[in-house]
């Protein structure tokens, strides 16, 4: 046996560990199979939901009257408690009535004098007329007697009008509330001289509290979008456009009563590009006061066959919104969608991009890669605003 023949087997044996080591290293470099991420899904089920529009609104008295003095004089008394509720006919102010009583007495005296003159003229006419018919007196005498009687009759009418005027002025000295409502502070104090045609004529104002008006503005863009949704049948308006209005008070408290729209302005404001809408709400408990800022919700319209998904399921990117869905092969896919109004506090309406039966990933999508398989696990119970998800078929 030669030297080479003896060395060759040894060389082969020496190379075996090296080959095993290299094979082991190759196996370590082969990546392990990645497990499919677990996700929870909801199956899209269209349903009809309310189409609610929200506005910033302000309360307003349905009837606010400015109380002014109709006669001039010294203010004797403030007869109401400032800021309190007053009833129709309740005395608010008393202007010194004595000068007006004197004027009334003088007018009554003048009326009595004119009536006496009229009676004298009537008696004279009664004597002159038969004598004139017998040609005992001239026609001129008869004409003079007729003229005196008619003039005295006209003077009586004038005197009676002055009596009525004096009675009105005396009545105006006592100022009463024209309605039930909340009376503001008095603008003039006792002893001040108030004038009927001066700034001092303003005394206070009374605001009716029941019903209460709620006003808000609708912009051109909001109106155009609403009309477009109706044209595309994404929204159905109530019959005869009888919208109902509910309000939310500061602090999130929901007002107990709803109202109806009773006025919508016919033109847009040139400064704001919006038009005013007004609703009337009952306020028997006097919970609402004029000037309060509230949230108004317009009720009555509906979204027919609306698709609603949780807001967390919608992702926003450079090209718009998208959701992750699971296709029939168990693979994740990104689906572009058009987002509409929010529904409640957790959900959003999808106007385009989804259809009935689509399975939208609602949880666990942080590890999901579009085009890769996913594992669907049990879906949690729906929230109050999220519709119940249909079971995942075949998952």
| Interstrand relation of 174-176 and 47-61 (parallel, antiparallel or unpaired) | unpaired
pLDDT at 19: 45
Q: What is the pLDDT of residues 185-208, one digit of tens each?
A: 999 999 999 987 778 899 999 999
Q: What is the pLDDT of residues 207-246, one digit of tens each?
A: 999 999 999 999 999 899 889 888 988 889 888 888 999 9
Q: How many other C-beta atoms are found inside a 10 Å radius of the C-beta of residue 209?
A: 21
Task: Specify the CATH number of the domain 38-51+304-376.
Answer: 2.40.420.20
Question: Which of 170-179, 335-344, 354-363 is predicted with the least confidence, judged by mean pLDDT?
Answer: 335-344
Kindly state the average pLDDT of the residues 378-387. 54
The class level of CATH for 52-62+209-303 reads mainly beta
Kindly state the average pLDDT of the residues 36-50. 89
Q: What is the DSSP letter of 266?
A: S
Question: Which of 9-18, 81-90, 307-316 is predicted with the least confidence, judged by mean pLDDT?
Answer: 9-18
CA dihedral 98, 103, 109, 110 (to 10 degrees): 180
Q: What is the pLDDT of residues 273-301, one digit of tens each?
A: 899 999 999 999 999 999 999 999 999 99
Contact 155, 118 (CB under 8 A): yes
Q: What is the pLDDT of residues 261-275, one digit of tens each?
A: 999 998 998 888 899
pLDDT confidence band for 133 (50 / 70 / 90): confident
The CA–CA distances, whole Å, from 47 to 26, 70, 148, 381 equal 57, 63, 91, 18
What is the percentage of the chain residues whose pLDDT exceeds 90?
56
CATH superfamily, domain at 98-172: Helix hairpin bin (1.10.287.470)
Q: What is the pLDDT of residues 158-181, one digit of tens each?
A: 999 999 999 999 999 999 999 999
pLDDT at 32: 54
pLDDT confidence band for 314 (50 / 70 / 90): very high
Q: What is the pLDDT of residues 79-113, one digit of tens each?
A: 999 999 999 999 999 999 999 999 999 999 999 99
pLDDT confidence band for 24 (50 / 70 / 90): low
Q: Is the pLDDT of residue 4 over 80?
A: no
Residue 333: closest CA among 307, 315, 306:
315
How far is Cα 129 from Cα 123, in angstroms, rounded to an integer? 10
pLDDT confidence band for 395 (50 / 70 / 90): very low
Mean pLDDT, the chain, integer = 86
pLDDT at 52: 86
Q: Is the pLDDT of residue 6 over 80?
A: no
What residues does 118 pair with on adjacent strands? none
Q: Is the pLDDT of residue 393 over 50?
A: no
pLDDT confidence band for 378 (50 / 70 / 90): confident
Q: Is the pLDDT of residue 125 over 70?
A: yes
pLDDT at 167: 97
Kindly state the average pLDDT of the residues 356-362. 91
Question: Which of 29-43, 133-147, 168-182 is predicted with the least confidence, judged by mean pLDDT?
Answer: 29-43
Q: Is the pLDDT of residue 7 over 60?
A: no
pLDDT confidence band for 394 (50 / 70 / 90): very low
What is the percentage of the chain residues whose pLDDT exceeds 70?
87
pLDDT at 168: 96
Kindly state the average pLDDT of the residues 355-359. 91
Kindly state the average pLDDT of the residues 35-52. 89
How far is Cα 174 from Cα 203, in angstroms, rounded to an integer? 13
User: In the chain, what are the domain boundaries?
Assistant: 38-51+304-376, 52-62+209-303, 68-96+174-206, 98-172
Task: Specify the CATH number of the domain 68-96+174-206.
Answer: 2.40.50.100
Q: Which two tokens stand for residue 305?
A: 């066959």
Q: What is the DSSP letter of 367?
A: G
pLDDT at 2: 40
pLDDT at 392: 40
Residue 170: partners with Cβ closer than 8 Å, 6 or more residues away: 97, 100, 101, 103, 104
């Amino acid at each position: 046996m030669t030297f080479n023949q003896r060395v060759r087997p040894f060389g082969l044996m020496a190379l075996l560990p090296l080959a095993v080591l290299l094979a082991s290293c190759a196996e370590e470099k082969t990546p392990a199979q990645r497990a499919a991420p677990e996700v929870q899904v909801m199956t899209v089920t269209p349903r009809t939901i309310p189409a609610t529009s929200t506005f910033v609104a302000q309360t307003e008295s349905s009837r606010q009257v400015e109380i002014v003095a109709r006669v001039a004089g010294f203010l004797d008394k403030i007869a109401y408690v400032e800021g309190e509720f007053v009833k129709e006919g309740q005395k608010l102010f008393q202007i010194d009535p004595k000068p007006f009583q004197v004027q009334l007495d003088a007018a009554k005296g003048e009326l009595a004098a004119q009536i006496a003159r009229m009676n004298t003229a009537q008696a004279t006419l009664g004597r002159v007329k038969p004598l004139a018919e017998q040609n005992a007196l001239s026609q001129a005498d008869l004409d003079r007697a007729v003229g005196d009687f008619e003039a005295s009759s006209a003077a009586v009418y004038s005197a009676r009008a002055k009596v009525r005027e004096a009675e009105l002025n005396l009545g105006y000295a006592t100022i009463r509330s024209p309605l039930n409502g909340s009376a503001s502070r008095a603008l003039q104090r006792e002893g001040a001289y108030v004038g009927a045609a001066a700034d001092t004529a303003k005394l206070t104002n009374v605001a009716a509290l029941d019903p209460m008006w709620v006003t808000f503005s609708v912009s051109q863009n909001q109106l155009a979008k609403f009309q477009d949704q109706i044209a595309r049948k994404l929204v159905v308006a109530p019959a005869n456009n009888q919208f109902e209005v509910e309000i939310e008070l500061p602090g999130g408290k929901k007002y107990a009563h709803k109202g109806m729209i009773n006025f919508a302005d016919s033109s847009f404001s040139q400064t704001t590009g919006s038009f005013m809408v007004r609703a009337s709400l009952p306020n028997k408990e006097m919970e609402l006061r004029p000037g309060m800022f509230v949230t108004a919700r317009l009720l009555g319209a509906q979204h027919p066959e609306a698709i609603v998904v949780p807001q967390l399921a919608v992702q926003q990117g450079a090209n718009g919104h998208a959701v992750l869905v699971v296709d029939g092969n168990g693979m994740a896919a990104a689906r572009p969608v058009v987002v509409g109004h929010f529904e409640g506090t957790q959900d959003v309406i999808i106007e385009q991009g989804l259809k009935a039966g689509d399975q939208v990933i609602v949880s666990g999508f942080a590890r999901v890669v579009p085009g890769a398989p996913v594992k669907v696990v049990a879906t949690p119970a729906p929230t109050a605003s999220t519709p119940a998800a249909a079971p995942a078929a075949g998952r």
